[in-house]
Amino acid sequence: MHRALWTGILLLSSLGLAQGFTPRNPECIAPAGAGGGWDFTCRAVTQLMYDLKIVPQPFKVTNLTGGGGGVAYAHVVSQRDNDPNLIVAASPATTVRLAQGQYSRFTERDVRWLGAIAADFGLVAVKADAPWKTMQELVAAWKADPSKIAVGGGSAVGGQDHMKVLLLGRAAGIDPRSIKYVPFDGGGQAITSLLGGFIQVFAGDASELRGQVEGGTVRVLGVMAPRRLPAPYANVPTLKELGYNVDWIVWRGFYVPKSIPPDAYEFWIQALRKVAKSPEWAKVREQNSLGEFLSLGAEFQVFVDRQVNAFRSLSRELGLIK
């Protein structure tokens, strides 16, 4: 009888251990180069997961560039579909490309959407010594001769940053077909090109540009937020204030391989929840001009499905897809 009792206890213990998940050699893929939003998302969130002892080891952060996130997406779906130790940075740049069918044969249903834990905001900026002091001055010069103004962003043609430019152009009365958009593989490259004079205007996100704003090397002419952002953007008007009905909210989040075990998926959901609720994350958000946004698991899956459908309609409206 005692032997049977101990056997039962051991069996229950082993089942309990099997149901638990602890990542080994965790990895976060940033689907673009260093210095952009995906890179920031990976590094900031995973560092806190380690600092808060949510994971037992530091993360390996891999910058897997190409195709506006498509190379990373294909890599995960085709080669890492059941890797429970992997998370991948994502944003509306991801859902835009999925909506347009730009990730080869893959769709939003080929991964599991984990969650988003912050909101970033689009903006329009020029070099500090640029001739345009206000958005109205830039738009006037842009309308007068669109061929003279190259606008760059950290996404492919048709991607998130390009859509920001097209929406602003449409609101300002500029023919979208005349807009000169230069794609870069991540916001870091686009910012470098702006500072080097290879493009005249940068369309990106607040978190990407904060260091340059504080350093005085760029001038932000407008933010695509519902209301003004705190310092260092406190004096920058929103596009809606200026009469352009455009905003662009950038959630910062992650997806994981589709076929990971349920306990691994639940582990990562809870890991994101712990980070999002921590005072340390609140400080990171404040330091990087990020707003609050928390959506996890099944709720986030519904959010992504709806956003893909909305971006598909908007892409048709802007002439990016048929």
pLDDT digits (tens, 9 = 90+) for 4-50: 444 443 333 333 333 589 999 999 999 998 888 899 999 999 999 99
Task: Tell me, yes or no, whether 9 lies in a domain.
Answer: no
| CATH number of residue 206's parent domain | 3.40.190.10
Residues 195 and 210 in one domain: yes
**What pLDDT, on a 0 to 100 scale, did the predictor assign at position 3?**
46
Task: Tell me, yes or no, whether 87 lies in a domain.
Answer: yes
| CATH number of residue 83's parent domain | 3.40.190.150
The pLDDT mean for the chain works out to 91
Distance set, CA 9 to CA 15, 64, 197, 239 (Å): 10, 46, 70, 64
Predicted model pTM: 0.85
Range of the domain at 283: 25-119+250-317
Contacts of 282 (CB under 8 A, 6+ apart): none
Task: Tell me, yes or no, whether 129 lies in a domain.
Answer: yes
Q: What type of residue sits at position 93?
A: A
Task: Tell me, yes or no, whether 175 lies in a domain.
Answer: yes
Residues 125 and 52 in one domain: no
Residues 50 and 115 in one domain: yes
Residues in the chain: 322
Q: Residue 80's closest CA among 114, 115, 110?
A: 110
Q: Residue 154's closest CA among 114, 118, 204?
A: 204
Residues 139 and 82 in one domain: no
How many Å separate Cα 111 from the centre of its chain? 16
**Residue 270 scores a pLDDT above 60:** yes
Q: Report the percentage of the chain scoring pLDDT > 90.
A: 82
Residues 217 and 269 in one domain: no
Residues 113 and 259 in one domain: yes
Residues 207 and 60 in one domain: no
Task: Tell me, yes or no, whether 236 lies in a domain.
Answer: no
- Residue 168 contacts residue 119 (beta carbons within 8 Å): no
Q: Residue 63's closest CA among 81, 47, 40?
A: 40
Residues 93 and 139 in one domain: no
Beta pairing class for 27-30 and 60-63: parallel
* Confidence band, pLDDT 50/70/90 cuts, at residue 148: very high
Residue 319: Cβ within 10 Å count: 11
Beta pairing class for 150-153 and 86-90: unpaired
Q: Where are the beta strands (DSSP E) in 136-217?
A: 150-153, 180-183, 201-205
**Residue 57 scores a pLDDT above 60:** yes
How many Å separate Cα 291 from the centre of its chain? 13
Q: Report the percentage of the chain scoring pLDDT > 70.
A: 94
- Residue 132 contacts residue 156 (beta carbons within 8 Å): no
Residues 38 and 89 in one domain: yes
Residues 138 and 98 in one domain: no
Contacts of 315 (CB under 8 A, 6+ apart): 96, 99, 100, 158, 163, 321
Task: Tell me, yes or no, whether 167 lies in a domain.
Answer: yes
Domain boundary among the residues 206, 224, 242 is at 224
Residues 109 and 258 in one domain: yes
Domain boundary among the residues 209, 224, 239 is at 224
Task: Tell me, yes or no, whether 239 lies in a domain.
Answer: no
Domain boundary among the residues 182, 206, 224 is at 224
**What pLDDT, on a 0 to 100 scale, did the predictor assign at position 233?**
95
Task: Tell me, yes or no, whether 242 lies in a domain.
Answer: no
What are the two backbone dihedrals, phi and then psi, of residue 252, each rounded to the nearest 5 degrees? -115, 115
- Residue 186 contacts residue 33 (beta carbons within 8 Å): yes
**What pLDDT, on a 0 to 100 scale, did the predictor assign at position 322?**
86
**What pLDDT, on a 0 to 100 scale, did the predictor assign at position 93?**
92
**Residue 99 scores a pLDDT above 50:** yes
Q: What is the count of structural domains for the chain? A: 2
pLDDT digits (tens, 9 = 90+) for 181-238: 999 988 889 999 999 999 999 999 998 899 999 999 999 999 999 999 999 999 999 9
pLDDT digits (tens, 9 = 90+) for 71-80: 999 999 999 9
The CA angle 35-223-144, to the nearest 5 degrees, is 100
Residues 273 and 207 in one domain: no
**What pLDDT, on a 0 to 100 scale, did the predictor assign at position 257?**
98
